[in-house]
Amino acid sequence: MIKRIFIALIVIACAQLASASTAEISSGVIAGKRNGHIDQYLGVPYAAPPIGELRWRAPQPVASWPGIRPALAPASPCAQIGSFYSTDNEASFDKPYGSEDCLYLNIWAPVSPKGLLPVLVFFHGGSGIVGDSAHPLYNGQRLAEEANAVVVTANYRLGVFGSLQSPSLHTGDPAEDSGSYFLLDMIRVLDWLSENCSAFGCDSKAITISGQSAGAVSVLALLRSPLAKGKFQGAISFSGLPFSASTETALKRTDKLLSNLSSQNLEFAVDSEGVDRFAANATTQMRDYLYQLSTRDLLNASGFGLSPAIVADGTVLSSVETPDKPVAKALSRVPLMIGGTKDEMTTLTPIKGFGRSAEKIWPLVNGEPRDKTINQQLGFLSGLVRDVRVGFANLFVKKRVKKYSKQYAKQLPAVYLYQFAWANYPEPWRSEMGAFHGLDIPFIFGNFIDDHKIYMRFAWTEENKKQREALHSEIVQNIYGFLRKTMPSNRDADNYLWEPLNGRENIHIWK
C-alpha cells in the first residue's frame, strides 16, 4: 500500500513538473504553468505593494525574493466597490472589494517562439473605479496562441487610490505631485516589460498598449505622456475618448471626497470652508489624516467610486492651453487603432430606479431568463425618455470618436478607425442593448463564457457560435497584423484593404 502511494506521489509530481514553467526576471525566479503551447504566469508583481507610506506614491521597484515564487494564481484586484465588471461573485457586489496591494500582472507567452515576439499589453475598463485584469473575460491564453504574441494584462490603482490631487500629498517629485498614480502604474508596467521581456521571448521594442473603456482612455493619455514616450510602439483604443482636466478641477474632486469623509463623522471632520482650506494647503495634519484612513473608509466615502482625473500637469501628461477641454494630442508618434461599439451608451446610460447598484443590474445582464426589455419594465413614458437619452448619447459618442480620430491622424503615422457592430444574440437583450459597450471584449480574447452566471452570458448561443468564432478570427488576424506591421492586416494577406485615415473616413466594420 505504501509503495502504491509513493508511486502515485511520484506520478503527480512528474505531471506537475511537466506542466510547470519557470522564468527568471529582475526580482527573482517565478514558476508558472504550461497550458498546451502557452506558458502562463499569473499574479506577477511589477511594483512594490502601494500600502502604508507608499499609498499615494509612484510605484516603487519590487524587492527581490529568494528561491522560486509561484505564479499560478491571480493576485487580488485593486481596491474598489464590487461589481460584475470585476467578478461574478454576487456576495461582493456594492461592497468594498479587493486590496490596495494589487500591482500585479498576468502573462501568456507562446512556448519556444521562433524569434522575439511582439507584446500586447491590455488595461481593463471600468470607469477607472472598478475592474480586474484577471477577470475570466481577459484570460489571454487563446489570444496569445492565435496572435502568436505575448499577452499581458495588468492591474492599476483605481478610484481615490489611483488619482488624488492635494498639496498635502506632495513629495517634491513632480510625477508624484501630479496625483496620477494610475498612469504612473501603467508606465511602470512598460518599464517592467523593458527590463524583463527577454524572460518571455518577447521584443521590448515591439510593445503595443491597448485598453478598453477607462483602459482605452488611459492609452490615449499615455500617447501624450512625456514619461511614456519611447516605451511603446503602437496603441489600440477599444471604446476610449481623450479626456483632460486642470489641477483646479482635480482639487474640486478631492474636496468632494473630503466633504464625504466629513459627513461620515470620521476623525478630523471639517466644514465646507475648511475643506477648501485643507485641500489648498499642504499640511502634515491632512496628510496624516488621509494616510490613517482605512481602505474601507476611503471606498465608502467615494460612493460607487471617484473616476480618475486626467490631469494636464506638464510632467505625467503634457500641458495644454485649455486643460479642462478634451484634446487629441500625441507625443508618442506611433500607429493607433481606435474605435468603439455601435451602441456604446445602451448599457452606460443609467436606468431609472436601478442607479449604479451592481446587485440591482445583475439580473439584467447575467443571462437569467426574462421576457421583458428594460423599457417595458420601466413603462411607456420612462422607456421613451430612456430611448431618447440613449439615442442622443450614442450620437454624441460617435461624433466624438470620428472627430478625435481625424485629429490623431494629423499627428500620427497611421490611424485605423473601426466600429464593432455585431449584435446577433437573443431577445429581449438584443433590442435594448444592440452592440453595447464591452461586447467586443469576448471577441478580442476569444472567451465566450456561458457555463455560469457572468456578465454577457445572455449573448452566447449555439446558433451564433459559428458567426462568433469567424468574427473573433477576423479581429485576431487584424491584431496580429497591427502588432507586426503596424497595420491591421490579415495574417497572410499583404493586400488587405483596411486603409488608414488619410483625409477620408475609412471605417472598418467588425460584424
pLDDT tens sequence across 75-88: 999 999 999 999 99
Give the Cα separation of 129 and 308 in Å (integer): 8
Q: What percent of the chain has pLDDT over 90?
A: 78
C-alpha cell belonging to residue 350:
443609467
Give the Cα separation of 389 and 392 in Å (integer): 5
344 as an active site residue: the answer is: yes
341-395 per-position pLDDT tens digit: 999 999 999 998 888 899 999 999 998 888 888 888 888 898 899 999 999 999 9
Nearest 5°: CA angle at 444, between 439 and 446? Answer: 95
Give the Cα separation of 421 and 275 in Å (integer): 47
Residue type for position 271: D
Exposed (0-12), middle (13-18) or buried (19+): which is 75, by Cβ within 10 Å? Answer: buried
Domain 112-245+309-487+498-510 has CATH 3.40.50.1820: yes
Smallest Cα–Cα separation from 104: which of 83, 67, 144, 132?
132
497, pLDDT greater than 90: no
Q: Sign of dihedral through CA atoms 366, 370, 371, 376?
A: negative
**Catalytic option among 437, 472, 489, 508:** 437
Which of the 8 DSSP states describes residue 37?
T
pLDDT, position 22: 97
135 as an active site residue: the answer is: no
**Catalytic option among 86, 213, 239, 244:** 213
Residue pair 238/211 in contact (Cβ under 8 Å)? The answer is: yes
Backbone dihedral region of 422: left (phi > 0), alpha (psi from -120 to 50 degrees) or beta?
Answer: beta
C-alpha cell belonging to residue 82:
464590487
pLDDT, position 397: 96
252, pLDDT greater than 50: yes
170 as an active site residue: the answer is: no
Question: How crowded is residue 424: how many other Cβ atoms within 10 Å of its Cβ?
Answer: 14
| Residue ranges in 82-207 assigned as alpha helix (H) | 141-147, 159-162, 174-177, 181-196
**Catalytic option among 145, 146, 344, 432:** 344
Give the Cα separation of 197 and 474 in Å (integer): 27
Question: Quick check: helix, strand or coil at residue 114?
Answer: coil
273-283 per-position pLDDT tens digit: 444 444 444 47
Query: How is the chain split into domains, by residue range?
Result: 112-245+309-487+498-510, 248-301
The structure's pTM equals 0.92
C-alpha cell belonging to residue 288:
496624516
